[in-house]
Amino acid sequence: MQDSKLPSSVRSTLLELFGQIEREFENLYIENLELRREIDTLNERLAAEGQGIDGAELSKGQLKTKASHSTSQLSQKLKTTYKASTSKIVSSFKTTTSRAICQLVKEYIGHRDGIWDVSVARTQPVVLGTASADHTALLWSIETGKCLVKYSGHVGSVNSIKFHPSEQLALTASGDQTAHIWRYMVQLPVPQPIADTSQQISGEDEVEFSDKDEPDGDGDVSSDCPTIRVPLTSLKSHQGVVIAADWLVGGKQAVTASWDRTANLYDVETSELVHSLTGHDQELTHCCTHPNQRLVVTSSRDTTFRLWDFRDPSIHSVNVFQGHTDTVTSAVFTVGDNVVSGSDDRTVKVWDLKNMRSPIATIRTDSAINRINVCVGQKIIALPHDNRQVRLFDMSGVRLARLPRSNRQGHRRMVCCSAWSEDHPICNLFTCGFDRQAIGWNINIPALLQEK
């Protein structure tokens, strides 16, 4: 190894990997020895039992059948053990790769209940917004993790937060049957050097956490944060929980989605209801607007999502997309003519707006999917799951990575939402969950696509 031309960091990583492989094979060898002993014991027992059961002799055929059944069970156990062990070895390689490509940078802790939504401001100063079941929305410094502003104008769970495309305005939807528009002014603190957390990850350890292990949300956020208590505008027309809201292109109108099975389009300046969008058979779960066109997509528990077209003022057309077998938890636009939908049926589907009869790609997963987000520039889909995982896929359905999760980092409960911030130099992906924290990640996108 003295003549090796490999960098020392690469050599140490390889040595660590080979050490893991050796330990896994050692464990596999020990398990196989134990299983062989079990086989020998079983054979001895079968030979003894062959003399008789309940005073009657076993026929040769009966003995053969019993032995065959037991041997089959042990064979299956051997196969399962082998697969599990080799799977761990493969996972070790995958984890090391993911570690280098997907790194946790910052945790945003201060909410007193689960966080439903996360969003990134589209204007300077760029801040992070979180919406929580604790009835508040918080704005954070991405670099320092410090809370900058607290909005406490709602009297119900805050279910979503979206930033105005050009002004320092935030739009929040709430369980109090309203959506609020409020103005914020923030001064970003001086960022401190960020500690490297990439070396603190111990593989893909899956550890169950109790409530006492969750981040402490009872810190000084409420006392130190400037608080906004009154909105500029309150949008009131729904007869049920407002689960999501978004700005239409230009920011002069806003759309809301509600459990009353309707979506409403409002004029922001006057707060007047412009259109009520009806047609869904069950509660709405999400709404999203196109970044460049007057298009809205709404998702519902009725297993469909609908595309509403407001580009022609005289014609408001609607298209219904069917293809999921359970609640559609979200549907979002990408660049061009694609929509990506996620569902409780554990699938994500990519659709072409010009052909809504069938999806052009389907991603099948092992857990229900919550509010997805697409990195528009690179067309990478971030999937937050009920099972605490976050996975990254491309638009053709190829899995690119899984965000690291261990007993020292990552979400400890259901991951509710993801949001990309493609131009931020430190964190370009954010996730939030019911463990009361949001997390900022740095995804090395060129390396991610090269691994593909």
pLDDT in tens, 63-105: 444 445 555 555 565 555 555 555 445 444 444 455 569 999 9
Per-residue tokens: 130: 């979180």
C-alpha closest to that of 173 among 112, 111, 260: 260
Peptide bond into 125 cis (omega under 30): yes
Q: What CA–CA distance (Å, rounded) separates 270 from 317?
A: 25
Q: Do residues 141 and 224 lie in contact, with contact meaning Cβ atoms separated by under 8 Å?
A: no
Residues 44-62: tens digit of each pLDDT: 776 665 544 444 444 444 4
Q: Does domain 101-186+218-449 fall into CATH 3.20.20.80?
A: no
C-alpha closest to that of 415 among 434, 391, 396, 393: 434
Q: Which of residues 1 and 179 earns the better pLDDT score?
A: 179
Instruction: Say what the pLDDT of residue 57 is.
Output: 44
Average pLDDT over residues 366-378: 94
Per-residue tokens: 227: 């608080």
Q: What CA–CA distance (Å, rounded) separates 137 from 175?
A: 13
Residues 192-216: tens digit of each pLDDT: 655 554 444 333 344 344 444 455 5
The DSSP bridge partners found for residue 296 are 289, 308
Residues 6+ apart with CB under 8 A from 104: 197, 198, 403, 404, 409, 410, 439, 440, 441
Predicted structure pTM score: 0.76
Q: What CA–CA distance (Å, rounded) separates 258 from 300?
A: 10
Residue 108 burial (CB < 10 Å; 0-12/13-18/19+)?
A: buried
If residue 343 lies in a helix (H) or strand (E), which one and from where to where? strand 338-343
Q: How many residues does the chain have?
A: 452
Instruction: Say what the pLDDT of residue 193 is.
Output: 58
CA distances from 76 to 44, 67, 91, 318 (A): 20, 14, 22, 53
Instruction: Say what the pLDDT of residue 55 is.
Output: 41
- State the average pLDDT for the chain: 84
What does the domain layout of the chain look like in residue ranges?
101-186+218-449
Per 3-state DSSP, the chain is made up of helix, strand and coil in percentages (nearest 5) of 20, 35, 40
Q: What CA–CA distance (Å, rounded) separates 67 from 61?
A: 10
C-alpha closest to that of 450 among 401, 396, 402: 401
Q: Do residues 242 and 172 lie in contact, with contact meaning Cβ atoms separated by under 8 Å?
A: no
Phi/psi of residue 62, nearest 5 degrees: -65, -40
Per-residue tokens: 314: 């005289």
Please name the residue that has the structure tokens 């690291």: 404
Q: What CA–CA distance (Å, rounded) separates 22 from 368?
A: 36
Residues 216-257: tens digit of each pLDDT: 544 546 568 999 999 999 999 999 999 999 999 999 999 999
C-alpha closest to that of 401 among 88, 94, 106: 94
C-alpha closest to that of 106 among 72, 67, 147, 71: 147
* pLDDT surpasses 70 at 395: yes
Q: Number of C-alpha atoms within 13 angstroms, CB side, residue 35?
A: 19
* pLDDT surpasses 80 at 9: no
Residues 6+ apart with CB under 8 A from 346: 364, 365, 366, 367, 368, 369
What region, left, alpha or beta, does residue 40 occupy, with left being phi > 0 and alpha being psi -120 to 50 degrees?
alpha
- The SS3 assignment for 353 reads coil
Instruction: Say what the pLDDT of residue 93 is.
Output: 47
* pLDDT surpasses 80 at 396: yes
Instruction: Say what the pLDDT of residue 189 is.
Output: 80
CA distances from 429 to 160, 190, 258 (A): 17, 21, 27
Where are any strands of DSSP class E within 40-177?
102-109, 115-120, 128-132, 137-140, 147-151, 158-163, 169-174
Residues 94-149: tens digit of each pLDDT: 444 555 699 999 999 999 999 999 999 999 999 999 999 999 999 999 999 999 99
- The count of other CB atoms within 10 Å of the CB of residue 227 is 12
